[in-house]
Amino acid sequence: MRFKAVMVDVDGVVIAHPDPRGWSAHLERDLGLSKTLLQSAFFEPHWQDVILGRAGLRERLGPVLAEIAPGLGVDRLIRYWFENDAHLDQGLLVQLAPIRAGGVTLHLATVQEHERARYIWDALGLKQHFDGMHYAAELGWAKPAAQFFQAAAARSGFAPDEIFFIDDKQANVDAARAEGWSAALWDGTRPLAALMAEAAERPPPTPSPRP
């Protein structure tokens, strides 16, 4: 097989929440904070800057909470968020292990800010299963921007045609292919090895011409 690296998305792939409403489904019941209010006051105006590394999570979240939920501390909300968005797909990790044992390096390619990236890597122990992580706040770009895939490939040290990528969003799969990566949409219904084998039999995607 020609692939030397497998790039894996996190949310929706390695981490798959059992509730389709996600980590904040019971936020108001548990912490007294409206999910809708948090979305409008924090995520809509601030998240782009946070996720691209232009601002810190606590730097933006603290003042917002002081206004909309003064009795709720930043530490408590972040802990609730991270711990309720930490459902690892053990079945996928089992499939990845023999691929890594066969000499293919495993990397995470994900849209994260710095603090949750550290949590995923260290507290959830994904550093035991993967060789590297490339994330939005570190790279300065988020999927599906072409620059995300260019930066992740450059940082990994692998050529685009040596990389196989899985993601749960078709737009990200298409963007990766446009940069010369082999990629497949992941929904957990087919074995990873089968997706890789099929991709290896096809010619590598031709990167889209750059202006």
Reported as a single tens digit per residue, the pLDDT across 187-202 is 999 999 999 999 999 8
Using alpha carbons only, give the angle 191, 175, 146 rounded to the nearest 5 degrees: 135
Q: Could you tell me the pTM of the whole model? A: 0.94
- Is the model's pLDDT at 211 over the cut of 70? no
Which two structure tokens, joined as six digits, stand for 79?
């802990």
Closest CA to 16 of 79, 73, 92: 92
Place of tokens 């031709």: 206
- Antiparallel, parallel or unpaired: β 163-167 and 5-8: parallel
Burial of residue 29 (CB within 10 Å: 0-12, 13-18, 19+) is exposed
What pLDDT digit, counting tens, does each position of 152-208 carry?
A: 999 999 999 999 999 999 999 999 999 999 999 999 999 999 999 999 998 888 877
Report the pLDDT value the prediction gives residue 96, as an integer from 0 to 100. Answer: 98
Q: What are phi and psi of 79, to 5 degrees?
A: -60, -45
Q: How confident is the model at residue 123 (pLDDT cuts 50, 70, 90)?
A: very high
Report the mean per-residue pLDDT for the chain: 96
